[in-house]
Structure formats: structure tokens, C-alpha cells
Structure 1
Amino acid sequence: MMFKKNNVVYICGGNEIASATAVRLHNSGFEIVCVVNENENNLRYHLCIGDAIFQGQKILENVTAATIDESLWGITEGEDRPSKIHQALQYLLKDRKIAVIPQADLAFAMDALPPDVIVNFYSENYSPITIDDAHLVIGAFPLHQPGTNCHIAVETRETYHIGRYYTPNCHIPEAINDPFFKQPFDWCKSPIGGVWVSLKNIGDMVHYNEAIGRVDSIEIRSPFDGQIWGLTHSGKIIEARAAVAQIFQHTPSDAFRYFGYREQAISGGVLEALLHFAMD
């Protein structure tokens, strides 16, 4: 199928990978609607469009992502919910913003403004998306298998092939323990569930056994020395053994403010797959 500029792309996901993809496709001329599951625990929320669900908007690399403000209902003419969502989405997209909706509104939004392309970063447990929901459905391998629940799948594992896209019946490289990538992060996990309250900020230094936050009245202490690159939002209810902080155990850096190689590789693979198969 032939695509024209400003085709509507739905991106299911609110984490940093989905957000980097949204920004890249937006900057390439596509109109983007991000569908966010409010239960996501995005530690690097400073880089996550999903944060807009709670803040109303999020600005990433000079691109604004915004939710449908209830005040917008006053300027719409439709009487039913799909009509109102359609006009509110168009209002945001014409303003060159990324539109952000909660997953609860996905069916209404797809009826109101059908997507030409869907990029799905959620597992089946999080998202109802199927291969038949758009002309082109791009998934995240290995969560999604090309030809089964998506047309194309982009490699998301940190291997030598990260960012490569796979088609049905193509050769998919065997998963091996690549020596090319060594995860530079460690995670602090809470042994108990409850309401999380942060005592630190993203970018702060933390020392071994220093309190990072509290779950209810219990302090959660860091098992490492390092720099905090990710942190659970204060006020979020977490489960026992959930990660509450991402810690970088190397030389402190301001690189935590930016999308990394993984986000760049995967978002680039999505854009390449979209452009290649859009022209078929």
C-alpha cells in the first residue's frame, strides 16, 4: 500500500522505547497517537510519554505530547463519545502534538480515527491489538511474532541485531548471550508492596545502604553505590519485588536525560520497516 505524509500511526506503549519511536515518527511527518496503560511502572519516566497521562502533557526533545483535556469537549460539536474523541484528537494533531490516550479509550479512538499503522510494544496481557487492526501492524520481537500477531516485528533484545526488523518466514538469528552488550544498570527492588514515596530524584547520587524511598513507613535502601537513572513515581502502588530504582554504577553523567542506543536503534528499525513496507 502507498502511504502519504501525515498518516495516522498508533503507538501502544508509554515507556522510553515507545516514546523514542513516537518522537522519531512525529519528526518524520507522521501523526502520532500514543495509547498508554496507566498501570505501567516506567522508572525512566522523565523520558516517557506515558507520564503525560498523569501530568497532562510531556515535552521530549522539543516535541509536546498531550492528553485530551476535558475542557476540549466544549469546542467539539459531536454528541457521542467517538465524535468528541475524533475532534479532540484532530485538534491536538493539527497543533503538531502527539496525542496521548489511556488504553480504556482505545476502541473509541480507533472507531473515531482509524490508524493506518499500529506499532505495538505491549504484550498480549496489556494490549488487545491484533494483526487485523490496521493495514500495517509492527510488533516488538520477541513479544510478537511476524505473521502471527503483527506483520513485521522489530528486534528489541540487546543483541548484535537490535533494531533489525523481521518478516514472516525470514531467518531470525538465534538468541545467544552476545558479548557485545553488557547491561550497565542494576535495579533496587522493594521486598514489600504498598505505596511508594521517593526520597531521591532521578540524576541523584546514592550510596550503599542509603534510603531511596519508603513503602508505607518502611525505608527501601540502595544495594549499590551509583547514580539514579530511573525511579518509581511517588504515590504509585507497587507490588512486592517490584523494581523501584535503576542505578548506574559507573562515572556520573548527564546522559540519563536522553534516549540511549537501545531506544535509537529500535525506533530507527520501526521507521525503516514502516517506510519500506508502506511503499510496497
Structure 2
Amino acid sequence: MRGEAPRGETQRPRTAPDPRSVRILIRGGGDLATGVGWRLARCGFSVVMTEIERPTVLRRSVAFAEAIYEGETIVEGIRARRIPPAAIEAVLSTGEIPILVDPELATLPRLSPRILIDARMLKGRLDDRPTRLEDAPFVVGLGPGFDAGTDVHVVVETQRGHHLGRVLYHGSASPDTGRPGVIAGESERRVLRAGRDGIFRTDRRIGTTVQAGEVIGDVEGMPVRAQISGIVRGLLHTGLPVRRRMKLGDIDPRGDPAYCFTISDKSLAVAGGVLEAVLHSLFGERSPALPTPPRPFPSE
């Protein structure tokens, strides 16, 4: 019958905007930002990402930031391509994600996004161009360092646990604990850290197996050793300058190489929260914001 949706498909309400007309700018291209960008792109939104000139991403095999180094990269079927600002529209028309070097948001007036998502995970650290409430009609912040209603419209919880992915319409996300999340019983020992300032060098590859005590690389001659056995899940680019105690990589004790090349459960949970926030911003008059649970959350 004329006007009906094809069998098996749901007819889109006439008031629903075409997702391709909704431009979303994501600051950051790390694994969490990539999970968000991937999910939004899968839902048909026009996603643009920005990064710094030399990203210090660890989970490079599932990070669109890798396109800054390689020119392009594919994560679970979606391609991101490093481009100059003049090529944004052409790349968007192909269904790919354009990513450009723009830490200062100089292209913000040109992009004019309807939604801006700060997924850099600065965790409150100061930067030269902080995200502001007036940067877009709807602004989302991931993790600690943002206050909903002050510098962003909503915050999405990024700490592992019961509240992961929750959308907060008031207040802030859980503070940074400084401790890596627990995977298969391992937390701090699974992280590779620099023992001194200097240049990090390694010839290892993500997805390879290592044993406890094995040398993964070095910083100015000081060895970087794995503290546990497992799979190299994340590893900084060789040749980058690092600071003492800076994260250089991480070892996954579960030992499954597939986990290195697919978006993590945490990233997808956070992406689900962002998608909820985005849809609420577009259809909010029909779905009022739920009250945010009181702080502090009860202990897990």
C-alpha cells in the first residue's frame, strides 16, 4: 500500500530528521572516541573527527586516530581518512569519516556541527582549547572533567562498573581513580609505563603474545618489560617522546588476539550512552530527560 514502509522495515516518522543531515563533530580519535564515532556512523549520522598532530593512542588497531599516521584506517568496516578541511564534504559523501588535525577547533565555524562530543578523555587536565557549552547546539562530554549544564549539556559516564554509559544531565562523571580497569583480575600490572622521560622505541606489534618479564621496548635505553603474560592489546607508536610514568601500552591477560582488533565492551557501552543523548537532543520534546541519580553513587 502506498505510504507504507517496506516489509520488515519501520516507517520513519515524518518529523524525524535524516541522520545524514545531522553533523556530529567528535574531538579525539582514541578507542573510546572511535567506539562513539563508529556507532553514530553506523546509525547514519555525518561524523567528523579531530585530533592532534601526533596522537598518543595505545589501542591503535581500533582507533580512527591511526589515520593521522597512516592516511586512512578501517575499524570494523568503517573507514576514517585524514583530510584537509577543504575535503570534508567530499569524504562525508562517501560514507567515510573525515579526520583532521585541529586541536584548536579552528574549523569549528566551517563545520558548524549540530552536536559536538568531547571524547579526548583529558579527565580534567587543562588544554589550550577547552570545549565550551556554546560550541554547538548540543555538547556532550565523556568522563570526568565536565559539568553538565556548565561546560557541556550532558556527560556520559566512562568508569567501568554499574553506571558505565549512563547519561548525566546534571553534575559530573565519577572522578578519575588513576587506576586502570580490572581485566581478568589484572589492573596496574597489565599497563606498560615509561621509567623515564625520553623517546620510546619498540619493534613489537599489537596482537602478539608476550611473557612476563619480556622486554617490549625501551625509553632512552631503559627497558620496558611486561609484568604479566598475555597479548599486546595496545602500544604507543615507536619514536614518540614520553614522560616518566606515561602509559606506553597494555597487555591483555585473556590471551585472545580478537580482542585487539574489535571495539571493546566499554567503548560500545559509552557509545550507547552517547547515542541515547544524541537521540534525546533530537526528539527531546517527546522523551523528557530522566532525573539523574543522586551523587555520590552507592558503592558497587
Q: TM bucket by the smaller chain?
A: 0.7 to 0.9
Shift of 1:253: 4.1
Asked if the contact 2:156/2:173 (under 8 Å) is kept, the reply is no
Q: 1:5 aligns with which of 16, 19, 23?
A: 19
Letter in 1 for 2:26: I
Query: Within 2, Cα distance between the matches of 1:9 and 1:277?
Result: 12
Shift of 1:173: 9.0
Query: Within 2, Cα distance between the matches of 1:2 and 1:168?
Result: 27
Give the 3 Å change call, closer, same or farther, for CA 44–111 of structure 1 in structure 2: same
Letter in 1 for 2:113: P
| Larger deviation, residues 190-199 vs 26-35 | 190-199
Give the 3 Å change call, closer, same or farther, for CA 90–173 of structure 1 in structure 2: closer
| Larger deviation, residues 36-45 vs 49-58 | 36-45
Shift of 1:113: 2.0
Asked if the contact 2:61/2:260 (under 8 Å) is kept, the reply is no
Shift of 1:15: 0.7
2:217 alignment counterpart:
213
Number of matched pairs: 258
Give the 3 Å change call, closer, same or farther, for CA 105–141 of structure 1 in structure 2: closer
Give the 3 Å change call, closer, same or farther, for CA 152–2 of structure 1 in structure 2: farther
Q: 1:202 aligns with which of 206, 226, 233?
A: 206
Query: Within 1, Cα distance between the matches of 2:68 and 2:76?
Result: 18
Query: Where does 1:1-280 land on structure 2 (aligned, <5 Å)?
Result: 3-6=17-20, 7-68=22-83, 85=85, 87-104=86-103, 106-107=105-106, 109-122=107-120, 123=122, 125-126=126-127, 127-168=129-170, 182-184=182-184, 185=187, 186-280=190-284
Paired residue secondary structure (2:135)? coil
| Larger deviation, residues 95-104 vs 216-225 | 216-225
Letter in 2 for 1:125: L
| Larger deviation, residues 1-10 vs 116-125 | 1-10
Shift of 1:223: 2.1
Paired residue secondary structure (2:249)? strand
Please give the TM-score of this superposition, normalised by the length of structure 2: 0.79
Large movers: runs of 4+ above 4 Å: 172-175
- Structure 2, gaps ≥5 residues long: 1-14, 285-300
Query: Within 2, Cα distance between the matches of 1:196 and 1:92?
Result: 34
1:80 alignment counterpart:
none
Please give the TM-score of this superposition, normalised by the length of structure 1: 0.84
Cα-to-partner distance string for 1:148-172 (whole Å, 9 max, x where unaligned): 1110111111120111101137xx8
- Structure 1, gaps ≥5 residues long: 70-84
Cα-to-partner distance string for 1:211-244 (whole Å, 9 max, x where unaligned): 1012233332222222211111111111111121
Give the 3 Å change call, closer, same or farther, for CA 105–188 of structure 1 in structure 2: closer
Give the 3 Å change call, closer, same or farther, for CA 120–36 of structure 1 in structure 2: same
Query: Within 1, Cα distance between the matches of 2:160 and 2:54?
Result: 25
Query: Within 2, Cα distance between the matches of 1:213 and 1:244?
Result: 9
2:9 alignment counterpart:
none
Root mean square deviation of aligned Cα:
2.4
Paired residue secondary structure (2:65)? helix
Query: Within 1, Cα distance between the matches of 2:174 and 2:97?
Result: 36
Query: Within 2, Cα distance between the matches of 1:137 and 1:240?
Result: 34
Asked if the contact 1:213/1:220 (under 8 Å) is kept, the reply is yes
Letter in 2 for 1:198: T
Letter in 2 for 1:63: I
| Larger deviation, residues 87-96 vs 209-218 | 209-218
Asked if the contact 2:208/2:257 (under 8 Å) is kept, the reply is no
